[in-house]
Structure 1
Amino acid sequence: MALITTLSIRPIYLTFGGSQLFTDPLALTALKQHLILNIVQGFFVSDINTLKTLPKEFSSAIMDIAVGLGANTMTIVRGNSTDIRSEDIIEIMCILNENNIQVINLDLSTQENKDRYYRFLKQGLDTSEERTSLILCQPLECENLLCEITVNNFIHRTMLYIFYWPHGEVSKFFLAGIKEAIRVVVLTNPREGVFRLYYNQATPNKLNHLTLVNWWSGRLYKSPSLPPADKVYHDFQGRVFNVPVLHAPPWHFVRYYNDSTVNVTGGRDDKLLALLAKKLNFKYKYYDPPERSQGSRISGNGTFKGTLGLIWKRKADFFLGDVTMTWERLQAVEFSFLTLADSGAFLTHAPDKLSETLAIIRPFQWEVWPLVGATLLITGPALWIVIAAPSLWQRRKRDHLQMLNDCCWFTTTLFLRQTTTNEPSKTHKARLVSILISLGATYVIGDMYSANLTSLLARPAKEQPIGTLQALEVAMRDKGYELVVERHSSSLAILQNGTGVYGRLARLMRRQRVQRVRSVEVGVRMVLSKRRVAILGGRETLYYDTERFGSHNFHLSEKLYTRYSSIALQIGCPYLETFNNIVMTLFEAGILAKMTTDEYKNLPEHSRRSEPVTESESKESNDPVESTGTGQTQSDSTIGLEPLSLAMFQGAFCLLSMGYLLAAIALTVEIQLHRRRMNRKTIHPVEKSTARRSARMFYLKQHFDRMFRIIYVFIDRALGHDARE
């Protein structure tokens, strides 16, 4: 009233025709009363704009509400429009501490304190700690605080904001600022000793709405203070969701029209969403997102593109598809329980067939010849040891060097599968060893090579496939291969943030003209049309696309890394646990895997009859998490063999011609050497020795010894005894 007493009323003049006239005293009295009324009203408005006192039993009500919430901590936040006595705040703090509830008292009168409060909320958001805030301020400041909290995205299921609304109805501006994910409680005091709790997450089908869920009149009407989310969102009561959709077989098959409408014709995730809608009683409408991409991460300018960016901005509720969980995406959205356990891989064109002419020669790589030489070096001395061993203790004089030479040539003849009668020894032991060597050369080495050669001719060899990242790096650096990825995908984020071979691949990609494609399907078509292109993506998606476009045209690499796909939702989504319970049940029961497998049955008949896609064997083949698509790969024995033709034997004729050529060269060399030796004898005749007669007798004796030896051998063979030389 001091404001009224200090205010003086000046005389009011009315100007008419340039002269000033005093008004009627009655009019002056009425005007004075009107001004006094306005001043009193202004006084009360000024008093309302500052919250100075709290209702009676407010501290007891807050204590019961906090206990009913199960809160461990509570932050008392006083705004600029608050001038509450310290005794009231201390009373609230004491009664909460008596119930083992930690209390933090913050005053937002300065910007520094407000920043401190926001840092406190950010810390709780990063660590997923409980944050319960009791905000005491006037309605206008409540609206501003709610707006700032929403803009800063301090929203999570562990964060609860209790706004005390001192008078009047909750404003429409405040209701419009309430997002579904933020937990907001409005506490009102309609009459003395009574407090009402209004909650925004009490109904599953109403947005920007506060519902009366509890009240306090000496004690809480029911406990807990707020209804749990699993009971609220077990039935959406026919709510309609607008769901963005992308064409990504086999997850969604989408047809786009010119009027920005879409028609989803099927897909694994379309069936999953229909199952969720039936179970939770909600409806959904698909729409075409602006950029038709998923989105990978928050960029440097603070924006998030793609469909996940819509969820981050809270313009979309959730998104189903081949959405891989990554750390960058977790900063913007939340993920449900996994809907697909997959792995990363890259796809290249199927290796070309090698020349059939060289098929007979190609098996003889350099690795073969050391073993062949070692075999020849071992078998010859082994036969010589068997023959020469008895002469060591019988003290017989024999030319062991010549015998070793004969044994080596004899075993070489056996390995070449040529007939020979020049046996180095006639003993049974030597013959037994010779028979074993002959059997090994004929049936083990010869027949095995013939069988392998036949299989190589029936199934022509192919180029070495690119199955590892290291091989892909070499191909990109030396052979001109290009690697493409889907834009705004998790594969792109792995290349951009990766180190080692991923970082080197990203640097090699910068030399390309085309680095990113609109979808995985477009990348697979590029691989099909251009031979030196590879695409990096999810193994299951790549496998399905190869089955669509003819699996015999592609080669799938080994498993590179584990990736998990799930449903993307807003941070703080209240029905996340409801979705998790259903998805977890479907995953554990194998229904999701069955739904994925059924998509392969919907492929065209000619696609299902094509040869399985070739795959590189992964080092982690014993991984318990196997892709459903790769499990359908048939073994190589089921692939039809090609009949032999004369074209496949061109290499054999070439090899035979080379053998004839080498034989002709060797014969020519022998003839030339023999002629040179004969010419040398003619030019340099041998001088007659003075002991010519002795030499003739020596030659005659050798001739007779040779004759007797032949006779002895013939008799020995006839009688079956060992020949003793």
Structure 2
Amino acid sequence: MEVCVFVRNKVDSFNFYYNHKSSNGKSKLELVNWWTIEDKLFQHPLLPPTEKVYQNFKRRVFRIPVVHKPPWYFVSYFNDSEIESVSGRDQKLLDLLASKLNFRLQPFDPPDHSQGSAIVNNTMKGVLGTIWLREVEIFIGDLTVTYERSQAVDFTFPTLIDNEAFLTHAPGYLSEALALIRPFHWKVWPPVLLTIFISGPLLFIIIKISYLFNISYNRPSQNDSFQLLSDCIWVSSAIFLKQSCLVPSDINKVRLVVVVLYLGATYVIGDMYSANLTSMLARPARETPISTLEQLAEAMEKNEMQLLAELHSASHGNLENGTGLYEKIWGMMKKQHRYLIETAEMGMQGMQLVKDNKHYALIGGRETFYYNTKRFGAHYFHLSEKLHTRYSAIALQIGCPFLQNFNKVLMQLFESGILAKITEDEYQKLVEEKKIEERKVETVAEGKQATEEETDGGQPRPMSMATLSGAFVILSIGYSASVCLLFIELLLHKIKLP
């Protein structure tokens, strides 16, 4: 309760007592101003300015809930319940605020290790629920600003500009045995076959027109015309099959058409195939990655992809309250055996699931995923495109009197580049830790495993028997086609016999 008391201590003087202008958090009536008939108010305005009062918290202690979520918080526990130490990007930010505004931090392990998404049935789960109930005053930890959350808490100036994204398993290599056939995509076959089928009759038409307009040649009979058409089709097929053939005409224009057709078949179709084949053998083809929300919905519908989200997170709220494609994905998620990760700590289990199984995906903040992929091995994962921009901030109680003081310090840290610097420091620390771990790898088995991981990461690798087996696949297809054509010729020969 906010109380202001006016006390008349003399005939022409008043004292003013107020209970909310105390930076140490103790709500007691204190003398803040007085008035006399000669001097009027001692200071203006009547009550002390809020920003001036909260410039110094006088070593006030704030209980801060912390949840282990790298790189924002690194929490080590003692006896699985008591916090032994806290570090990370958000802890550094709080230390800077505490140093500037002169307050102290007392971290504690919250009973519910989730953030909280919205007020439902006059209750709110997660850490934000404790702020809404005014049990806790401050919370920071990759906390995304949403409309539903702003109904329960106040947010400061953004501490991070992030993006929504989802994480999937890295696309696997396609079969090397089919590398020789893969350049012949189904979209290539229609124009190639159309060219082959048109070339023969087109050659026949050119020859017929030449006979019609040139009286020096004897006009062929009907049977000869049928034979000529057959020969033209055979010549065009032989050209595309790289076989030797005899042009069924002495007309120069026909020979020119055949030469152009031969050059097109050899240097266009043949060279394009050779170029595609060379590139595929040099760097084997991979499966199509899932990068957009539309591709994710299609994979969930057709390929049994399962999407996971952290309970009471901003991503959970977007899916649950979203419309259109989000609504469709949320409906498919609810049919899964498991679709929510209970706590932030269990988010590491979600990363492990995505790493080990290509049928799982994880949705959340892109910065968090980027950091965790570095920890688990970036070559195991594929990060999607940015879905939408999201802002993280510090959560305070509604009507918090020192909100402007926090905003002022945060804007100074943002403009000076310190916010970006402490974030980069966590990534740099991760790189140094990985180098130390790599130096410890000395056994032969671990060395082989590291080599395999580098190979899977898209590095160049030597050709194997699996790649060479594609030549035998092509050879078997050719033999099969030859046998089929032989039987067709024998069948036609028997039909022509009397």
The alignment's TM-score, normalised by the length of structure 2, stands at: 0.82
| Other-structure match for 1:176 | none
Q: Is this contact kept in 1: 2:212–2:219, CA < 8 A?
A: no
Name the structure 1 match of 2:378: 551
Equivalent position of 1:310 in the other structure: 130
User: C-alpha separation between the residues in 1 aligned to 2:211 and 2:339?
Assistant: 78
Change over 3 Å in CA distance of 1:231–1:655 after alignment to 2 = same
Q: Is 1:491 matched up with 2:315? A: yes
Distance 1:238 1:644 in 2: 67
Q: Is 1:278 the equivalent of 2:95?
A: no
Which segment drifts farther, 644-653 or 386-395? 386-395
CA distance in 1, matches of 2:248, 2:86: 81
After superposition, give the CA deviation of every residue in 1:39-73 in whole Å (9 maximum; x if it has no partner). Answer: xxxxxxxxxxxxxxxxxxxxxxxxxxxxxxxxxxx
Paired residue for 2:6, among 181, 187, 193? 187
Question: Pairwise mapping of residues 409-558 of structure 1 onto structure 2 (< 5 A)?
Answer: 409-422=234-247, 424=249, 427=252, 434-517=258-341, 518-519=343-344, 520-558=347-385
Q: Which whole-Å CA distance do the structure 1 matches of 2:406 and 2:280 have between them?
A: 54
Query: How many angstroms apart in 1 are the aligned matches of 2:22 and 2:218?
Result: 109
Distance 1:339 1:254 in 2: 20
Q: Distance in 1 between matches of 2:411 and 2:30?
A: 31
In structure 2, the CA distance between the partners of 1:276 and 1:391, relative to structure 1 (3 Å rule), is: farther
- Name the aligned partner's letter for residue 418 of structure 1: Q
Give deviations 1:490-528, integer Å, cap 9, x for gaps: 222222222333233333333333332222223212323
Instruction: Name the CA distance, whole Å, in 2 between partners of 1:319 and 1:576.
Output: 13
**Separation in 1 of the partners of 2:321 and 2:463?**
51
Judged with a 3 Å threshold, the aligned counterparts in structure 2 of structure 1 residues 639 and 591 are, in CA distance, closer, same or farther, namely farther
Please state whether the residue corresponding to 1:357 is helix, strand or coil: helix
Partners of 1:396 and 1:570 in 2: CA distance: 103
The aligned runs of 1:182-331 (5 Å cut-off) are 185-218=4-37, 219-258=40-79, 260-300=81-121, 302-331=122-151
Question: Any idea what SS the aligned residue of 1:443 has?
Answer: helix
Contact in 2 for aligned 1:188/1:197 (Cα 8 Å): yes
Looking at structure 2, the residues matched to 590 and 376 of structure 1 have their Cα atoms a distance apart, in angstroms, of: 65
| 8 Å contact kept, 1:384–1:404 | yes
Pairing of 1:339-418 with structure 2 (within 5 A): 339-376=159-196, 409-418=234-243
Question: For residues 490 and 168 of structure 2, what CA distance do their matches in structure 1 show?
Answer: 57
Contact 2:211 2:219 in 1 (8 A): no
C-alpha deviation, 1:334, in angstroms: 0.7
Structure 2 Cα separation of the partners of residues 461 and 539 of structure 1: 27
**1:608-660 per-position Cα deviation (integer Å, ceiling 9, x unaligned):** 89xxxxxxxxxxxxxxxxxxxxxxxxxxxx94222222211222211211211
Q: State the Cα deviation string for residues 451-510 of structure 1 (Å, max 9, x = none).
A: 212322343333343334444344444444333221221222222222333233333333
Asked whether the 8 Å contact 1:338–1:564 carries over to 2, the reply is yes
State the match for 1:570 in structure 2: 397
Q: Please show how residues 52-91 of structure 1 align to structure 2 within 5 Å.
A: none
Over the aligned positions, Cα root-mean-square deviation in angstroms equals: 3.3
Counterpart-to-counterpart distance in 2, 1:232 and 1:339: 24
How do 1:38-49 residues align onto structure 2 when only pairs under 5 Å count? none
Give the deviation of 1:424 after TM superposition.
4.8
* CA–CA separation in structure 2 for the residues paired with 1:294 and 1:193: 55
1:663 match: 482
Q: Which is bigger in relative contact order (C-alpha 8 A, separation at least 6)?
A: 2
The residue aligned with 1:587 is 414
Q: Give the 5 Å matches for 1:86-125.
A: none
Which stretch of the first structure deviates more once superposed, 386-395 or 287-296? 386-395
**Cα distance, 1:246 vs. partner?**
0.8
- Alpha-carbon offset, residue 386 of structure 1: 7.7
Corresponding residue for residue 450 of structure 2: none
Residues 375 and 642 (structure 1 numbering): CA distance in 2 closer, same or farther, change over 3 Å?
A: farther
For residues 367 and 219 of structure 2, the distance between their equivalents in structure 1, rounded to whole angstroms, comes to: 72
Give the 3 Å change call, closer, same or farther, for CA 607–564 of structure 1 in structure 2: same
Q: Secondary structure at the match of 1:602?
A: helix
CA shift, 1:381, in A, is 7.0
TM-score by length of structure 1 reads 0.58
How many pairs does the alignment contain?
468
**Contact 2:131/2:137, CA 8 A, preserved across alignment:** yes
Larger radius of gyration: 1
Residue 420 to residue 234, structure 1, CA distance change in 2 (3 Å): farther
Answer yes or no: is the 8 Å Cα contact 1:486–1:523 preserved in 2.
no
Return the letter of the residue paired with 2:186: W
Is the Cα contact below 8 Å between 1:387 and 1:425 reproduced in 2? no
Q: Give, as a single letter, the amino acid of the residue that structure 2 aligns with 1:417.
A: K
Distance 1:240 1:421, change over 3 A: same
Whole-angstrom distance in 2 between the partners of 1:256 and 1:362: 54
Query: Does the 8 Å contact 1:252/1:264 carry over to 2?
Result: no
